[in-house]
A and B are shown apart, each in its own frame.
Chain A
Amino acid sequence: MASLLDLRRRIKSVKNTQKITKAMELVAAAKMRRAQERLLAARPYADEIAGVTEELMRRSSGHRHPLLQVREVRRRCLIVITADRGLAGALNSNTIRLALREMNSTPDIPCSVVSVGRKGRDSLRRMGKQFVADVSSYGDRPTLGELLPAMRVAMQEYTRGEVDRVDVVYSQFASAGRQEATVQCLLPIAIPEVASGPAVDFEYEPEARDVIDALLPRYVEAQVYRAVLENIASEQAARMLAMHSASDNASDLIADLTLTANKVRQATITTELMEVVAGSAAG
């Protein structure tokens, strides 16, 4: 049996760990709220861009923008969005696993990777995947500008014909209790069919196709940006949950160790008493 001193030392160390996990839980909860707010704040822009793009596509179906071209898929590209930091439960490994499954589903087609976030970058690099771009260390509050390079590279690869399909893998934020790794096709752009609202007769300046040329990249950017924001919200939610159960486990462990420590203490006292009694009886 472990000595009393060892047990006390272990209790102390578990208590210290618990303090950290509790603090991390609170921080993650606060950050999750802010991440959710940012997700909401990004919505008006994304909705407007999507609305205008759909409207435009309906009118000028003749124009084939390079980002709309559907080609036979010979090479693919995955944008893998993960967190920069771990200690977020199975969040990152779920995303990475989904990304790998996606790659293995088409084993004959070479697949390149654009990584957003350190965790995905590191583990995919260890597996020897081919990278075309990386944007990591984006923090809790990335601006579109910080993430833009990743999207630019993916779009360039597509327009140059280096890849024939681009997907995004990220963790969708369903609720504080549920995050799901998701794959979404980014390129070629599939404009969702919408029930036509009151059609607005827009004038275009200089011309409809010029407007489309400028609009489509931003449509793609808005989609990726939203995915990153969702991933951040998911990250914080997952961390909050993971740290909550870690704190609970620490409580259990402390209770266990305390019980053992008390037993050891009592056993020692009993033994000492017996010795005293035996000694006085002999004397």
Chain B
Amino acid sequence: MKLSKVCELLDAEVLCCEEGLEGEAKSACGSDMMSDVLAFVKDQSILLTGLVNPQTVRTAQMMDMKCIVFVRGKRPEDPVISLAADNGITVLATNYRMYTACGILYANGLFSEGADKV
């Protein structure tokens, strides 16, 4: 799924790296625990989270993710957005809650990668 489609489906605002919207996402994951993202996630392109501190961007960066979607109307502070921009990570913000945002993407064919059960 193109990131522009993700943006459209989630009625999201683009906070940085708009040029990344042309990129493709094969899979996504949703979590507010970065430890879990680092432990269980493999080759996901998108991180959906309600956590807005810089470690969200660091986690996405370590995992080679292309896009972070901040859910439930959360907006990170400018330094967090700058950090994402410096690392070429597209940042979106949606007013949907986590469950709904993940549900919309899943229902439209964007699945999680690999084994869903740990």
Is chain B a partner of chain A in the same complex? Answer: no
Residues in A lying within 8 Å of B, measured CB to CB: none
Residues in B lying within 8 Å of A, measured CB to CB: none
